[in-house]
């Protein structure tokens, strides 16, 4: 039983760190910390809760737009995330917070945030295969996804020493290409058989707006959740706030330009408006400057919206990649842009802008890396992008092969995008009774 | 007029405490507190807002699953909560924060949180009688519920000196049995007359998922809102986060095992996934250890889901207890489990695990209780469970009798679960006009 | 291109302030601030996120009640807000945070909150013309609205030196009358042509409840977001919490009194329950006392509900003011009441209640105003109300004239309240296909 294994692993490895352990009081006195308020909990908890909302309500409801798959979207999102964050605590713990003195993983609020981030990578991948895979396949996708994520994150952040506070590379680029590669391996030529279910209805689109808005509003917390205390978190929040605001305007402008009669397309409003948050992820903690954030948001809004109009149909027709939620436009491309922006901003950093100490703190030029200079850092950032793409594509192809094994009970083509295949909708039958009797009250 | 009485009582009794009073600056200097950030507001306000969301959106939308009672659920939830928290501020104030020097109740952020907790007890009870009582009956249920709650809380926390940060005993056990006893007293043999309205429709189930998710995400704040500053809040959040994640997996596993074709039942996903948060409430602030939290969540997921499958129908058929939302599986049983877990964890506490000071702080072994040892504490915790159950059942039977008086205008059996009985749905008529003309646009 | 102009203006004027700049570490040492936690970010960020939710989800979903205009409400709300906050950062920056040494605007978290407040003023105005204007008209309405807001705010807060933490005058009174004046200028005699779309349906009303509840729950953050550190924020949250709770009960009582069979009207529950938060805005940071907050909430609940029952129909019939969302009852009137309450509370302030230092801090009697006494302050508060009303009405009439120019592509009378005019609802067509084939699954 999976649960039992998880419990044993937690029992063997996972303990509280000194800020969440009852010995905190002694620790405080030893470190002479003047007040309980300096416990890391109070620096990060509000951001953690916002990230938590993004993972479960944001991602969950963003995918409810399908008229008959709202439960599948929210429910399986719930399942993946709940399973993934436990596995992520273990995998990331082994790589990042293993205490070599006693071989235990010491967890605190920051580990919970990182676990949520790790899960986000897999939820992005879920967006590409939404409605076309079985719950078991999702668990397999998540199990391998989390593992790959932890390794890739370790390489990018610790070995290459790239900075990636908002995870443009680590989370979005990796998650995006991981999902697209899987979707490519699981190509269904006859998917149009269930196309009658692939659209949305009025209310399912309004539900999707709940997801969009919670992701949009809380993105500043996402990008500032694990940045440096003080100015780091402050600056990351401001940059993200501005980039997102800028994206909304650009998206609506482009969307109405390319629709006949200048109407707005809800798909663009639901998705492309978020691209700015992805693209500012890496550079959010740097001195990107407010106008820099606006420029990033501006470009991403254009790229992402045009992606929905031209690229997604092209990929489906010619590259045999069926991307249900269009994650390539919302996560993969903006993620790569974010990585590039981060590399440029890092390479352009100067002591006059950051101040001597600010430069060291922001880029963490300490320990083995204390002789690094911003230009070098820029190169390392660029290397990070490549690693993320390779892990995404490579890992996705391998996992895709595994998922093609006929043992996972994936749905037939004409059962795709249909809740009834996995959720027993008791009320449906009862409902049909009632429709005859008094349809108006139905609403 | 009720309102006037409330205003007079507030005028006579309620004042700001020294942290919310304009004299705070002098107070700060007197106590030489180094910074405004050490005001209790900054320790608790983010958790307070999360709890507030759970009370109004979480509980409110969790009960919207009935196809024709979404307004009743959200609206009356809103009414009960808004009334209850004012009454709770007074009742809890008299028992807990009365300043004997001037006979005033001094309130701060912690009182607001406790008032929300107190209201939660009554909202749980509302879940059992949802759709079967009139607004007036609800106000009576709340008035007595809050009063009983304050007394019971005073006995358990102050006299017995049990610890119950997340309220497994004080809130969930009491609220659960209080509601069930009332529902038993108000048994309606002919309820099947309105059974046509007792089901859910697709969108009403998605609305209910909003409630589920906000309760699930913010539960760590619920359990950590009033625990000790520093490690107490930090640890409570981590334990709750893990217990909830564990429950989700177990619930989905059990649910699919017991459904034909391994489908998932939305009722279980909407409710049982939350049981872990209830069951970890008491022990959340103790050194439960991460694996301990997983075990608690694991057990609760099984118990709660099986409760929905077997116990609820049994209770309705043989015990004449009609439990609309299944609060017995979501609150009552997990609450008792939580109390037991708390008792065991407390009894097993050792100085080596908590550290000398940690032990004293965590269990508050000061003043009259400074000679207590963990084993004793375990006994006191157990006593707390009994008190909660007695108050719940006993109080529920008494209040149930009162509610059976024919003066409250309760709905006839065939008006149950129907908004129209209490809300004037203007649009309904207008709607019927429109249906003929253009039904498709209706959606 | 509007975006480019915005980027250039940001490039020229906007920089990080010393708390969000990488030089923070040097700044900290210079000011010998003991810990990063004293960065303003940690005082205000949780409140900021709550305000952000109110602006985008709260205001957005509150307006989704129209059966066919849910997208328009949420989507255009999104567009206005995202555009408005960028423009607000510039306008407010020039008036409030311009650093004269280098002519730059230094922004931090407080500026983001103020930008959100500024946007709120325009969203209130949007409520009056909801469904009757084109996106371009909305942008014009916002552009001028923000500009007027910044001037009016500067006059009231800086020149007149009135206090208005929650913006009863600055935000709600101004926004309300600004919107009503515009709606008056844009009067449509034949609006009944689209009256078939002016109602709500069951689910669109439940969506509106999401907006109501998020506004209601987070209002304490709204009123405490920019008040003084420490007791100021603490007290503002408590007062708002109590006023809102009180309003809910009064609203439901009045609503059921004036409906036949004592039923509740959803329109009142969706709107009037919020009036208390508006009315306590100015006085929230003063020593209003808990019972004072209850009284304010009590009065506002009555005024606002009666407004919906009698005033709105009267205004539409005789004054030719079509107020789609009834902002006159929710914002304009309660805002004026709030201003008056603030003036009285300020005039009644005594050193015995506030303490010598408390009085100075609360009313900011420093610099040019250090000789002011509470009675004077009361007069200044009253002057503030008049300024807000004049700017609202005057500005609204001027902007209304501009909007009447036939160049903005406003919808014909029978296209009002209809999404299809502005959003391309792809699914609609596809949807119609499906309805025939299998209506039950439609839900």
Structure tokens at C155: 């006059």
Contact B249 A41 (CB under 8 A): no
Q: In chain A, whose CA is at the least distance from the CA of B443? A: A202
| Alpha carbons B5 and B28: distance in angstroms, whole number | 35
Query: Which residues of chain C have a CB within 8 Å of the CB of A238?
Result: 16, 20, 107-109, 112
| Alpha carbons A280 and A286: distance in angstroms, whole number | 10
How close, in Å, is residue B70 to chain C by CA atoms? 7
| Minimum-distance CB partner of A263 among C35, C70, C422 | C422
Position C100 confidence tier, pLDDT thresholds 50, 70, 90 = confident
How close, in Å, is residue B104 to chain C by CA atoms? 12
Better-predicted residue by pLDDT, A173 or B423: A173
Contact C442 B443 (CB under 8 A): yes
Contact A82 B50 (CB under 8 A): no
| Alpha carbons B424 and C262: distance in angstroms, whole number | 9
Query: Which residues of chain A have a CB within 8 Å of the CB of C11?
Result: 289, 291
pLDDT digits (tens, 9 = 90+) for C248-260: 989 988 888 887 6
Q: Can you give the pLDDT at residue C418?
A: 65
Residue B226 lies in a domain: yes
What's the Rg (C-alpha) of chain C? 22
Contact A298 C53 (CB under 8 A): no
pLDDT(C229) > 70: yes
Residue A34 lies in a domain: no
| Minimum-distance CB partner of B291 among A7, A20, A439 | A7
Q: Can you give the pLDDT at residue C5?
A: 83
Structure tokens at C307: 């407004």
Q: Which of A4, A18, A20 is the best residue to mutate to test the B interface, defined by the most B CB atoms within 10 Å of its own CB? A: A20
Output the CA–CA distances (angstroms, integers) from residue C59 to B321, C257, C271, in the order listed.
Answer: 41, 28, 11
Number of CB atoms found within 10 A of residue B375's CB: 11
pLDDT averaged over chain C? 84
Residue B301 near residue B254 (C-beta atoms within 8 A): yes
Contact A86 B242 (CB under 8 A): yes
| Minimum-distance CB partner of B34 among C34, C46, C203 | C34
How close, in Å, is residue B20 to chain C by CA atoms? 4
Q: Can you give the pLDDT at residue A429?
A: 30
Position A240 confidence tier, pLDDT thresholds 50, 70, 90 = very high
| Alpha carbons A157 and A388: distance in angstroms, whole number | 11
How close, in Å, is residue C272 to chain B by CA atoms? 13
B107-111, B186-190, C104-108, C285-289: the lowest-pLDDT one: B186-190
pLDDT(C266) > 60: yes
How close, in Å, is residue A179 to chain B by CA atoms? 23
Q: In chain C, whose CA is at the least distance from the CA of A204? A: C443
Number of CB atoms found within 10 A of residue C40's CB: 15
Interface A-B, measured as beta-carbon pairs within 8 A, has a size of: 220
- What B390-393 contacts at long range (C-beta under 8 Å, 24+ apart), as own/partner pairs, is B391/B148, B391/B151, B391/B152, B391/B174, B391/B178, B392/B173, B392/B174, B392/B175, B392/B176, B392/B177, B392/B178, B392/B180, B392/B181, B392/B332, B393/B177, B393/B178, B393/B181
Contact A355 C26 (CB under 8 A): yes
Mean pLDDT of A245-258: 88
How close, in Å, is residue A42 to chain B by CA atoms? 7
Residue C325 near residue C63 (C-beta atoms within 8 A): yes
Please give the angle made by the CA atoms of C114, C120 and C123, to the nearest 5 degrees.
155
pLDDT digits (tens, 9 = 90+) for C1-42: 677 888 888 888 888 888 888 888 888 888 888 888 888 899
Residue B9 lies in a domain: yes
What is residue B263's DSSP assignment?
A: P
| Alpha carbons A325 and B154: distance in angstroms, whole number | 53
pLDDT(A385) > 50: yes
| Alpha carbons B354 and A410: distance in angstroms, whole number | 49
Query: Which residues of chain C have a CB within 8 Å of the CB of B107?
Result: 238, 290
- Stretches in chain B below the pLDDT threshold 50: 425-443
Q: Can you give the pLDDT at residue A192?
A: 64
Structure tokens at C125: 């105005």
Query: Which residues of chain A have a CB within 8 Å of the CB of B35?
Result: 35
Mean pLDDT of A55-65: 88
Q: Can you give the pLDDT at residue C137?
A: 86
pLDDT(C389) > 90: yes
Residue A434 lies in a domain: no
* Residue A69: CATH number of its domain: 1.10.3430.10
Q: Can you give the pLDDT at residue B432?
A: 28
| Alpha carbons B111 and C34: distance in angstroms, whole number | 30
Would you say how long chain C is, in residues? 443
| Minimum-distance CB partner of A357 among C14, C26, C423 | C26
Contact C250 B440 (CB under 8 A): no
What is residue A226's DSSP assignment?
A: T
Residue C27 lies in a domain: no
* Chain centre distance of CA B142: 13
Residue linked to tokens 């539409």? C316
| Minimum-distance CB partner of B443 among A19, A71, A203 | A203
| Alpha carbons C419 and A291: distance in angstroms, whole number | 34
Query: Which residues of chain A have a CB within 8 Å of the CB of B275?
Result: none
* Residue range of the domain that includes A349: 1-21+41-421
Would you say how long chain A is, in residues? 443
| Alpha carbons A322 and A312: distance in angstroms, whole number | 8
Contact B216 A70 (CB under 8 A): no
Q: Can you give the pLDDT at residue A442?
A: 28
Q: Can you give the pLDDT at residue B362?
A: 86
| Minimum-distance CB partner of B431 among A42, A437, A440 | A440
| Alpha carbons C232 and C229: distance in angstroms, whole number | 6
Contact B427 C238 (CB under 8 A): no
Q: Which of A206, A425, A437 is the best residue to mutate to test the C interface, defined by the most C CB atoms within 10 Å of its own CB? A: A206
Write the DSSP string, A82-101: HHHHHHHHHHHHHHHSEETT
Position A415 confidence tier, pLDDT thresholds 50, 70, 90 = low
Q: Can you give the pLDDT at residue B314?
A: 85
| Minimum-distance CB partner of C39 among A196, A234, A289 | A234
Buried b (16+ CB within 10 A) or exposed e, C409-443: ebbeebbbbbbebbbbbebbebbeebeeeeeebbb
Q: Can you give the pLDDT at residue B22?
A: 85
| Minimum-distance CB partner of B423 among C67, C263, C298 | C263
Query: Which residues of chain C have a CB within 8 Å of the CB of B69?
Result: none
How close, in Å, is residue C406 to chain A by CA atoms? 18
Residue C26 lies in a domain: no
Write the DSSP string, B179-199: HHHHHHHT--TTGGGGGGGSS
pLDDT(A330) > 80: yes
Buried b (16+ CB within 10 A) or exposed e, C247-280: bbbbbbbbbbeeeeebbbbbbbbbbbbbbbbbbb
Query: Which residues of chain B have a CB within 8 Å of the CB of C46?
Result: 45-46, 49
| Minimum-distance CB partner of B265 among A2, A424, A441 | A424
pLDDT digits (tens, 9 = 90+) for A84-133: 999 999 999 888 888 888 888 889 999 999 999 999 999 999 988 887 88
Contact C266 B423 (CB under 8 A): yes
How close, in Å, is residue B2 to chain C by CA atoms? 10
Residue C431 near residue A201 (C-beta atoms within 8 A): yes
How close, in Å, is residue B82 to chain A by CA atoms? 25
Beta bridge partners of C98: C105
pLDDT digits (tens, 9 = 90+) for B243-285: 999 999 999 888 888 876 667 778 888 888 999 999 999 999 9
Q: Can you give the pLDDT at residue C193?
A: 57
Summarize chain B as % helix, strand, coil (round to 5). 75, 5, 20
Output the CA–CA distances (angstroms, integers) from residue C267 to A178, B346, C205, C351, in the order listed.
Answer: 47, 50, 9, 43
What's the Rg (C-alpha) of chain B? 22
Position C414 confidence tier, pLDDT thresholds 50, 70, 90 = low
Q: Can you give the pLDDT at residue B428?
A: 37
Contact B237 A83 (CB under 8 A): no
Summarize chain C as % helix, strand, coil (round to 5). 75, 5, 20
Contact A237 C41 (CB under 8 A): yes
Selection from B182, B105, B98, B170 nearest residue B142 by Cα = B182
| Minimum-distance CB partner of C71 among A199, A266, A294 | A266
Query: Which residues of chain A have a CB within 8 Å of the CB of B289?
Result: 11, 15-16
| Alpha carbons A204 and A63: distance in angstroms, whole number | 9
Mean pLDDT of A51-61: 91
pLDDT digits (tens, 9 = 90+) for C205-224: 788 888 999 999 999 999 99
Q: Can you give the pLDDT at residue C45?
A: 92
Averaging pLDDT over each range in B3-7, B308-312, C365-369, C436-440, which range is the top one? B308-312
How close, in Å, is residue B439 to chain C by CA atoms? 9
Better-predicted residue by pLDDT, A187 or C328: C328
- For C46-139, list the strands marked E by DSSP: 98-99, 104-107
Position C185 confidence tier, pLDDT thresholds 50, 70, 90 = confident
pLDDT digits (tens, 9 = 90+) for A189-213: 776 655 556 666 667 778 888 899 9
Q: How many domains does chain C have?
A: 1
Query: Which residues of chain B have a CB within 8 Å of the CB of C359?
Result: 22
Structure tokens at B224: 């950590």
| Alpha carbons A386 and A156: distance in angstroms, whole number | 10
Instruction: Kindly list the partner chains of chain B, i.e. chains with 3 or more CB atom pairs below 8 Å.
Output: A, C
Residue B234 near residue B244 (C-beta atoms within 8 A): no
Residue C443 lies in a domain: no
Contact C108 A234 (CB under 8 A): yes
Residue A30 lies in a domain: no
Selection from B132, B143, B174, B182 nearest residue B157 by Cα = B174
Instruction: Kindly list the partner chains of chain C, i.e. chains with 3 or more CB atom pairs below 8 Å.
Output: A, B
Residue A79 near residue B248 (C-beta atoms within 8 A): yes
| Minimum-distance CB partner of A422 among B67, B249, B263 | B263
């Amino acid at each position: 039983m999976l649960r039992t294994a998880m419990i044993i692993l937690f029992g063997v490895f996972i303990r509280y760190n000194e800020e969440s352990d009852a010995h905190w009081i002694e620790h405080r006195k030893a470190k002479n910390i003047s007040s309980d308020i300096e416990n890391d909990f109070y620096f990060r908890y509000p951001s953690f809760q916002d990230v938590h909302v993004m993972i479960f309500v944001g991602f969950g409801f963003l995918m409810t737009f399908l008229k008959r798959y709202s439960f599948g979207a929210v429910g399986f999102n719930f399942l993946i995330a709940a399973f993934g964050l436990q596995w992520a605590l273990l995998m990331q713990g082994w790589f990042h917070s293993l205490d070599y003195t006693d071989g235990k993983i010491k967890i605190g609020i920051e580990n919970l945030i990182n676990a949520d981030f790790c899960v986000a990578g897999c939820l992005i991948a879920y967006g590409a295969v939404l409605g076309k895979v079985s719950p078991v396949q999702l668990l397999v996708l998540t199990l391998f996804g989390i593992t790959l994520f932890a390794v890739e994150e370790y390489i990018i952040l610790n070995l290459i020493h790239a900075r990636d506070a908002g995870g443009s590379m680590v989370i979005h680029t990796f998650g995006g290409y991981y999902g697209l590669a899987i979707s490519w391996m699981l190509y269904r030529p006859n998917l149009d058989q269930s196309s009658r279910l692939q659209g949305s209805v009025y209310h399912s689109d309004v539900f999707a707006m709940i997801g969009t808005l919670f992701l949009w509003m809380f993105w500043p917390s996402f990008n500032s959740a694990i940045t440096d205390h003080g100015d780091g978190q402050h600056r990351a929040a401001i940059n993200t706030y501005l980039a997102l605001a800028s994206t909304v305007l650009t998206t609506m402008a482009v969307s109405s330009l390319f629709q006949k009669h200048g109407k707005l397309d809800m798909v663009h409003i639901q998705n492309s408006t978020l691209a700015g948050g992805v693209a500012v992820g890496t550079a959010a903690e740097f001195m990107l400057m407010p106008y820099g954030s606006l420029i990033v948001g501006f470009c991403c809004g254009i790229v992402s919206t045009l992606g929905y109009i031209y690229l997604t149909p092209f990929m489906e027709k010619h590259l045999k990649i069926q991307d249900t939620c269009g994650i390539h436009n919302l996560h993969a491309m903006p993620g790569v842009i974010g990585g590039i922006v981060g590399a440029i901003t890092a390479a352009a950093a100067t002591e006059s802008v950051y101040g001597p100490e600010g430069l060291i703190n922001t880029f963490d030029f300490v320990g083995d890396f204390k002789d690094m200079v911003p230009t070098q850092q820029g190169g390392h950032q660029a290397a990070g992008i490549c690693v993320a793409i390779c892990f995404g594509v490579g890992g996705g192809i391998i996992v895709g092969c595994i998922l093609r094994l006929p043992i996972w009970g994936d749905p037939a083509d004409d059962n795709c995008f249909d809740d009834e295949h996995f959720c027993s909708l008791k009320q449906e039958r009862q409902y049909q009774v009632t429709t005859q009797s008094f349809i108006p009250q139905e609403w």
